[in-house]
Structure 1
Amino acid sequence: MTEIETDPDLKTARVATETTVGPTEDQTYEVPRPAGWMYKRLGVLGWYASPRFQLGMVAFVCFMCPGMFNALSGLGGGGKSDPGLADDMNTALYSTFAVVGFFAGTFVNRLGVRLALSFGGIGYCIYSISLLVSVHKYVPGFNIFAGALLGVCAGLLWGAQGTIMMSYPVEQQKGRYFAWFWCIFNIGACMGSLIPLGENIHVKTNKNVSDGTYIAFIVLMFFGACLALFICDADKVVRPDGSKVVLMKNPSWKTEFIGLWQTISSEPWILFLFPMFFASNWFYTYQQNGINAAHFDTRTKALNGFLYWFAQIIAAALIGPLLDIEGVRRKIRARIGLGVLFLLTMAIWGGGYAWQKGYTRESVAAKDFTPTDWSTPGYVGPMFLYFFYGMYDAVWQGFVYWLMGALGNSGRKLANLAGFYKGLQSAGSAVMWSLDKNELSYMSELASNWGLLCGALLIATPVVWMKIQDTVPIEEDLRGTDETLEDVLPPGTIEQKRVGSDAI
């Protein structure tokens, strides 16, 4: 790699001495960037308004907000010994999340990613505050309201996050961007799990976590919501090759709702991915309540939560680069990924079936039941099962995000796809939390997960086999927007093409 010496006012990007096929993070161009502090290079992170820097900021917002929420939820029951309240709150949460999430692409395109993310972070603070209050007073109305509000906020936050993660990077790096984001995000969940572990290190019974645990989560979530205010909107982002994200120049509520419909009507085969979207969070209820909350004491639940999210970091770090591996065509990678995911589904959930045969909802509710501690003989088996459940979650989410990213590069289209994903994902979660509240047997919960995941993979097969292209033409990304090639391609590209055409 070399740096080309130029007038510093040109704000040139890094260039590589070797030639690459298509733009990459280290680009083969010397490209002027706009003037201003947002475009001054900040070392390996690029410039402030670069895809890498912005993704890092979004990852830390999610580190503080949904990362801490995941740590709290991973304890089972929202940290409370009785999961009933968390079931009610999460049913409200995912019901509103399903509606807002489905239309989140429209809101994100209209409001911009900065406002969507900053408003989204607020709901996580209020949710944790309501759990803390519920420890000392009976406030079911406040708890349900907090869950419903978080659904609205989370829909906006995850819609913006999906837009950034899938549309900012170039095609050759979408798997790596998922890996970077998912690792940072789940470091938050890991650190969040260490809070209740440290607070309850000697608690060998199944009881509520301490007030200090909730207060720590509230403070961190508030910091994350504030950090989101410093993210720049997508129209300011410039990639290393000088290209920009495909957006609508002057979006209105009308154009964005029309665009939402066009995303499905122009490509109805996207519906074949909807079962994968629906299934992608269905298993959280069973894993968090049916396994962790039901069978383990307080300190071991915290340890299991840490291992679950740590497993996601490992899995994301592996699958992201593998999905971007050079030398294998993208459509072939998609088919291999689908096959590997099916095999993992059969192996890991088959292991879960063997474990689930050992207890029932009634047996763990009996007065003489003793929660499992990490010092209990035989703990290693379920510990590894829970670890692999965490890895499976990251592989599933990573593959789905990568598939959506392979369908286009337009920020507008991918915002809508991210909205469909989060909306249907949350609808599935709402149904499963409601079933758990009604005390569906643990074996039935496991069977519903296993069957739904396998069925979703089979239904998605035609899309993976026939619709994933090795690259998506820029003209296809511009369809349905009011932008032109000159708006999004690196400066001088159009002129170079014209010169080349004249020479021929």
Structure 2
Amino acid sequence: MGLTRDEESNTYVTDNNSKLSFLRYNSPFVQIILIGLVCFCCPGMFNALSGMGGGGQVDPTVANNSLTALYTAFAIFGILGGAIYNILGPHITLIAGCSTYVLYSGSFLYYNHYHHQAFAIIAGGLLGVGAGLLWAAQGAIITSYPPANKKGTYISIFWSIFNMGGVIGGLIPFILNYHRTEANSVNDGTYIGFMCFMSLGVLLSLAILPPSKVVRDDGTKCTHILYSNVGAEALEILKLFFDWKMLLIVPAAWSSNFFYTYQFNHVNGSLFNLRTRGLNNVLYWGAQMVGSIGIGYIMDYSFKSRRKRGFLGICVVAVVWSCIWGGGLANQLRYTSSDITEKLDFKASGSDYAGPFLLYFGFGLLDAMFQSMVYWVIGALADDSEILSRYSGFYKGIQSAGAAVAWQVDTHKVAPMSQLIVNWVLTTVSYPLLLILVLLAVKEDNRAEEEPA
């Protein structure tokens, strides 16, 4: 199986004759694949749904209000999620989290027929609770399970599998609504398709092992703690708000989902018709796979020094960010002087479609690069699952608070140009703070390079 137990030291040692030890069920590689599949089915499909703008409805009001409830609850349970994960373990945490995605998609199926906002808003709030649990578990797994010198690679593997959910999820509304270019909302089959995938994610979550049972190829475990308790976790969560490392991450966390409102509603939702929005989603989430792989390589293999890799990764993302949002500014200037009278169609609009589409594709590329980079920085702060579950939960909680504000900003009809400028400024502020964090808190990894998986 690749590992044997040393009875004297009561630890596992690598069997160097096994070239497939990374395929052990209890290896970090296999567990990263599994959590990627869980997120493929649940948040991946959710991303495809929300990425259409307005949750697939022509009027984004119900989706905006539902997402505000979602991210408000997410902000609270994202921060608490790490503690809950440490107490309950992955199975209960993930099952509870994944189940709420099914309910959320079902609420839009209900809205298609009855046009009552209440169910969608309540389902959004419950999904906020569930998403907080799921993403705290996910963050702990992808930052603590991999070996220190391969965290960027493993994060990019996860991000690629997860965003394949957005690709497949984008195909669902594209195919099922291909001939409905003038429809007000996607059809029932679209929401039912999302619900089927999300239900599969609930079942797949049973395959995730707790960190105490996951063994790296060098024989180390992801944590030596078998369980935690409420009092200890409450104290550790409180400490996060006074931890200078977490305070430096706050601007990056706040801005990292803030831009979705502008991208989904004022680029994809405003400029394109229904079927083209579905196609754009396929390529938006496909771009995320490319972005995560590229930045993962830089963060792991560009230099031997971990700090230098961190510096380079942050600087690359900052440059790409400025270029793409510069394109966003140029695109937005085209639409500030007059209302959009005709939606773009990928078949009928010709060259007019190309520019806005490439911008939306670039936004997807940038999102994955930015978030993978931040996860790498968080993962470089520690190796233990118990610590990193709290760090990841804090990141997701602040991220969700920012998203809750962003969706309400849009509900109150703040001008798209103002939203664009705020997004650009918020994220730009985060880069020098992340550089300081890498300089002061990230330790060099002097361990010998392991065999490549």
CA separation of 1:153 and 1:362: change in aligned 2, threshold 3 A? farther
Q: Which runs of 5+ in 2 are unaligned?
A: 448-453
2:191 matches 1:224: no
- Corresponding residue of 2:146: 169
CA separation of 1:202 and 1:45: change in aligned 2, threshold 3 A? farther
Cα shift readout 1:230-287 (whole Å, capped 9, x = no counterpart): 322111111112111125344110011122234554x423311111011100010100
Cα pair 2:302 2:309 within 8 Å, conserved: no
CA separation of 1:328 and 1:432: change in aligned 2, threshold 3 A? same
Q: CA RMSD in A?
A: 2.2
Decide which of 78, 89, 95 is 1:101's aligned counterpart: 78
CA separation of 1:335 and 1:210: change in aligned 2, threshold 3 A? same
2:349 matches 1:376: yes
- Corresponding residue of 2:170: 193
Amino acid at match of 1:322: I
Give the Å deviation of 1:334. Answer: 1.0
Aligned mates of 1:211, 1:333 — CA distance in 2: 47
- Corresponding residue of 1:417: 391
2:301 matches 1:325: yes
Aligned mates of 1:136, 1:435 — CA distance in 2: 28
Cα shift readout 1:446-474 (whole Å, capped 9, x = no counterpart): 1111111111223333212332221399x
Cα pair 2:48 2:169 within 8 Å, conserved: yes
Decide which of 409, 412, 421 is 1:447's aligned counterpart: 421
Give the Å deviation of 1:370. Answer: 1.2
Decide which of 106, 114, 139 is 1:137's aligned counterpart: 114
Aligned mates of 2:212, 2:183 — CA distance in 1: 50
Cα shift readout 1:312-332 (whole Å, capped 9, x = no counterpart): 011111111221106430101
Cα pair 1:76 1:292 within 8 Å, conserved: yes
SS in 1 for 2:321: helix
CA separation of 1:158 and 1:4: change in aligned 2, threshold 3 A? closer
Aligned mates of 2:224, 2:179 — CA distance in 1: 53
Return structure 1 stretches of 4+ with deviation > 6 angstroms. Answer: 3-7
Matches within 5 A, 1:301-316: 301-316=277-292
Decide which of 33, 50, 53 is 1:76's aligned counterpart: 53
Cα shift readout 1:142-165 (whole Å, capped 9, x = no counterpart): 111100000000000000000000
Cα pair 1:50 1:239 within 8 Å, conserved: yes
CA separation of 1:448 and 1:205: change in aligned 2, threshold 3 A? same
Amino acid at match of 1:370: E
2:267 matches 1:291: yes
SS in 2 for 1:440: coil
- Corresponding residue of 1:396: 370
Query: How many matched pairs?
Result: 440
Cα shift readout 1:81-115 (whole Å, capped 9, x = no counterpart): 11110000000000000011012111111111221
Matches within 5 A, 1:204-243: 204-205=181-182, 207-243=184-220
Decide which of 422, 431, 435 is 1:457's aligned counterpart: 431
Cα pair 1:206 1:297 within 8 Å, conserved: no
Cα pair 2:4 2:14 within 8 Å, conserved: no
Cα shift readout 1:127-153 (whole Å, capped 9, x = no counterpart): 000000001013322111100000000
Give the Å deviation of 1:362. Answer: 6.8
Aligned mates of 2:114, 2:27 — CA distance in 1: 47
Give the Å deviation of 1:46. Answer: 2.0
Aligned mates of 1:305, 1:340 — CA distance in 2: 25
Greater C-alpha Rg: 1
- Corresponding residue of 1:15: 16
CA separation of 1:326 and 1:87: change in aligned 2, threshold 3 A? closer
Amino acid at match of 1:221: M
Give the Å deviation of 1:11. Answer: 9.1
Aligned mates of 1:297, 1:346 — CA distance in 2: 28
Aligned mates of 1:16, 1:262 — CA distance in 2: 45
Cα pair 2:295 2:313 within 8 Å, conserved: no
Decide which of 62, 67, 70 is 1:85's aligned counterpart: 62
Percent identical among aligned pairs is 40
- Corresponding residue of 1:126: 103
SS in 2 for 1:439: coil
CA separation of 1:410 and 1:264: change in aligned 2, threshold 3 A? farther
SS in 2 for 1:67: helix
Cα pair 2:240 2:394 within 8 Å, conserved: no
Cα pair 1:282 1:449 within 8 Å, conserved: yes
Taking structure 2 as the reference length, what is the TM-score of the superposition?
0.92
Aligned mates of 2:308, 2:293 — CA distance in 1: 20
Amino acid at match of 2:166: A
Give the Å deviation of 1:13. Answer: 4.1
Taking structure 1 as the reference length, what is the TM-score of the superposition?
0.83
Amino acid at match of 1:315: G
Aligned mates of 1:169, 1:316 — CA distance in 2: 16
SS in 2 for 1:135: helix
2:247 matches 1:271: yes
Aligned mates of 2:15, 2:180 — CA distance in 1: 54
Give the Å deviation of 1:437. Answer: 0.5
Cα pair 2:298 2:313 within 8 Å, conserved: no
Aligned mates of 2:367, 2:115 — CA distance in 1: 34
Cα pair 2:4 2:12 within 8 Å, conserved: no
Cα pair 1:206 1:371 within 8 Å, conserved: no
SS in 2 for 1:379: helix
